[in-house]
Every structure is written in C-alpha cells, then in structure tokens.
Amino acid sequence: MAGYKREIRPGTWRFEYQVDGEKFSQNVKAKNDKDADKKLSIFVAEVEKGKYRKDTGLTFIEFAQMFFDKYANDNLSPTTVRDYKNRINKYIADEIGTTKINKLKRLQIQELANKLVKEYNLSSKTAKNDIKLISSILNKAIEWDYIDYNVADKISIPKNLKKQKKKVILYSYNELRQFMDALEKLKNKELQIAIYTSFYTGARRGEVLALTFNDINFNIKTIDFNKNKINVKGGTQEKDIKTGKNRLFYVPKIYIDKIEKYYKYLGNPKKDTKLFNMHPDTFSKEFKKFLEFNNLREINLKDLRALNESILVNQGIDIVSAAKRLGHLPSTSVNYYLDEIPEEDKKASEVFQNLF
C-alpha cells in the first residue's frame, strides 16, 4: 500500500498507511489535491523511517503518573517524589493536566508561568521550580519516544516584585544566652542533646537524627555526618546525606562533654546505637514547644543552622570554610577525611567552645 488519502472536509485530508500489519493515520491541512499528494509522500516516508509517532492520547497528568511509576519512585528520594506530587496537585494538574502531552504548546507553558506568579502570587523561585518539574517530565516523554521536543524549556519566569522574601531574624547575643540557659535546664534529655547537636554542628534535622555513637570520636572530638533520616509514608527512612558527601569535622569540648554524659545516661549502649529515636516531625514540634514554654522568640530548626553559620562568620571564620562545615556546596567544596580536616575547622569548633 503506497498510502491512501481522502478529503474529509474542504481543506482537510485523511492520510492512511499500513506497514507490517500496523495502520497509521493522520489528518492534514492541504491547499489542493497536488499539495495533499506531496504531504502524503512525507507522511509515508516518516512512517517507513519510524519517525512518525501515533497520537497516544496520553494527557499530561496521565503521563506524569507514568513518570512516577516507571522512573521517579525508583530513582528519586521519597522526599523529592512527595514534593513533586504536591507541586503537580497544587496548581499544575488544574492548569494543564487534561491536555495531551503532544498537544502542549510553549505559549501555554509560558502563560502558566505568568499565572503562577501574577495570579497565584508564588515567588519567582517557586514558579521556576514548577516549570522545571514540567520540563523534567516532558524530557522523560522525549526519552520514551512520546514527543519530539520539550515545550517547557526556555520559559521566562516573571519576577514577583510584590512577594517579599521572608526575612529570618536570628537570635541576638542576649537572646542566645537566654536560649542556652533554658536548654541547660531542659529535663527531656533526648530533646536537649538533639537541640545541642543542631546548634553546635549546624547540621540538618535528618542528619542529626541519623547519628549513632559510632559517628562521634570522643578522643579526637570529631563528628561524622554520613546519613540522613527522612519522612516517608508510614514512617521514616535513612538515605545518604543531601550533598552525597560525608562531613567529618571537629566539635567543641563542651559538646563532647555533653554527649559523654548522655551516653552514660543511656546506660553505655552499643556504639551503633542511635543517639535519638525521634521522628523528624516530632523533633520540630518539640523544639517549638520548648521555645513557647520558655517564652523564647519563635525560630525553627533551620534557623539554628543559619545561626551557626552566622556565628562562625562573625567570629572570623571565612565563609567558604563555614559553608563546607555546614554541607553547602560552594565551588571549592571537598570531601573531608579524618587526617585531612583543615586547621581552619579547628578554629570553627573553638568559636563555640569560647562563645560565652
């Protein structure tokens, strides 16, 4: 069969072609019979070369579900998958969910980006992340031969000048003194040591909760962050730390002394014992209750991380060294090893030893 055409209405032609027992069809606009013959030849050639793609009928939301089932759930962290699903359910599904992926237009995605900022009042960064997610899903559609190009790339994200970035006001020196005095009196030892760990190390919540006593060297006064405890449906799960690079650095003697007392308080358990058994959300909630009970200004655990970095920089530690310690990824970031902890890191630990 060389290809068959028929005019189904003025200016619109129906092409059909069968190869290896599979039938392909397409509706095409043509000026006249001669123009239709020319386009039929192109259609047949594309089918023969395997370049013609059938209309699968998959909507964006249907393909997004395939994206999760066949890729994301097995290759991305549970936290990332949960974030992606929340993003899709919040705005994206309502806006483009029912549109077929091969019918999406770049202008449609641009209009969505504009709407996210101007109507939904999202920050430019949040809108950018939403469009980036759409782009990632469409890239997978290209990889799996569902579409030929990505209409979500090269999208301009408008600036939301009305959206004020939340300003974090860290504790002053006097507030920090009140905070530490209240913490010293806290009777819940697990919560107390968890907060001390967050403050003295600047580590992420999940990194703190994943620590075992094996990760702390009492003699050399070092701590090794190598795992991250995260929320998953039905409980928690441990995975590699966020940057994928373990962080081994010095901690002040005042902190080691507290950990040694805590170790004895727990009855000298095995070294592979977890320091803390709290759920990550429980840690956040109990921290908030601790502040409220002691009439301390409300901050969150992430603010302790920022406070740690602020103290280091204000006490003369260069910002790159502070960033490495906290697990940020500046261009000069490197892995830490026990015999390669820079001298600058010892100075960082001494800052907290002599803070008050």
Q: Report the pLDDT value the prediction gives residue 173, as an integer from 0 to 100.
A: 81
Q: Report the pLDDT value the prediction gives residue 341, as an integer from 0 to 100.
A: 40
Q: Report the pLDDT value the prediction gives residue 327, as an integer from 0 to 100.
A: 57
Distance CA 40, CA 30 (A): 10
Q: What is the 3-state secondary structure (H, E, C) of 16-30?
A: EEEECCEEEEEEEEC
CB burial of residue 10 (10 Å; 0-12, 13-18, 19+): exposed
Q: Report the pLDDT value the prediction gives residue 342, as an integer from 0 to 100.
A: 47
- Residues 187 and 207: beta-carbon distance below 8 Å: no
Q: Report the pLDDT value the prediction gives residue 331, as an integer from 0 to 100.
A: 38
Q: DSSP code of 98?
A: T
pLDDT tens digits for range 230-283: 877 777 888 877 655 677 878 889 889 999 999 999 999 999 999 999 999 999
- Residues 344 and 321: beta-carbon distance below 8 Å: yes
Q: Report the pLDDT value the prediction gives residue 337, as an integer from 0 to 100.
A: 31
User: What domains can be seen in the chain, in order of their start residue?
Assistant: 4-48 (no CATH), 60-143 (1.10.150), 173-353 (1.10.443.10)
Nearest Cα to 113, choosing from 103, 125, 99, 98? 125
Q: Report the pLDDT value the prediction gives residue 307, as an integer from 0 to 100.
A: 78
Task: State the virtual CA torsion across 34, 35, 38, 40 in degrees, nearest 10.
Answer: -100
Return the bridge partners of 100, or none: 59
Q: Report the pLDDT value the prediction gives residue 149, as an integer from 0 to 100.
A: 87
Mean pLDDT by 10 residues, the chain (356 residues): 83 86 81 91 82 71 94 90 94 95 94 94 93 96 87 92 71 87 96 93 90 94 88 78 70 91 96 94 95 93 78 56 53 35 53 63
- Give the CA angle between residues 145, 151, 154 to the nearest 5°: 130
Q: Report the pLDDT value the prediction gives residue 171, as an integer from 0 to 100.
A: 81
- Residues 312 and 322: beta-carbon distance below 8 Å: yes
pLDDT tens digits for range 343-352: 555 555 665 6
pTM of the full structure: 0.60
